[in-house]
Structure 1
């Protein structure tokens, strides 16, 4: 009996609602466990197609995309749950920007656009939505 109560408390404490943002169904992770989702970015200003992943842990998300030695990354807190959120971008060549993220209903996929401080723009997909990526474009 004590063991089952301890497990129940662990699960209750560990199922922290985390997402890339969203008011619907939250992503649930146990302490120490994270979810990783594929990410693809298409931007002429960033040199074409960049691939990588998003990592979602209890209260923080992070991502990294790259093409050769060029990369862009960022971290963000998951303190709010929104279907739309803005995430900072920092590239290893010093460029900075912002991603406008639109989460899907499951919060395990979505899309968005990015704008860099130098005026470069692009689009991205993550999670299951990366299946919409075709060649070097993002299907509508």
Structure 2
């Protein structure tokens, strides 16, 4: 099992942080989200979305641009001003503006062949509070799943 981030993704995250649209995530956030994901129903290689109440699937190939924007904006993750971008365990996690991330899903997934997750965050008492139940999964190709 890999325990170090891929050097290309690590550099990619460093460049992302320089844009002013991203911030370093609190330490341990990736372990906490992975633990949350591990508690969800899984199939052989992916989450079993049909067994997750509130999960809705979409295919980018059949939605026009406006339909895709509407679908993304109606996802629970879109309710928060910030989201965390999670590429996988032991990968860097960055916090980004939600609108910015939703407009750049394909770009954000460019360096990870299995896609990514976004999950909601809010600032409470000077600390980031994650809302793992407000997630969106993008496979990096055409399939999206989001909590409604």
Give TM-score scaled by structure 1 length. Answer: 0.29
Give the structure with the larger strand fraction.
Answer: 1
Give TM-score scaled by structure 2 length. Answer: 0.28
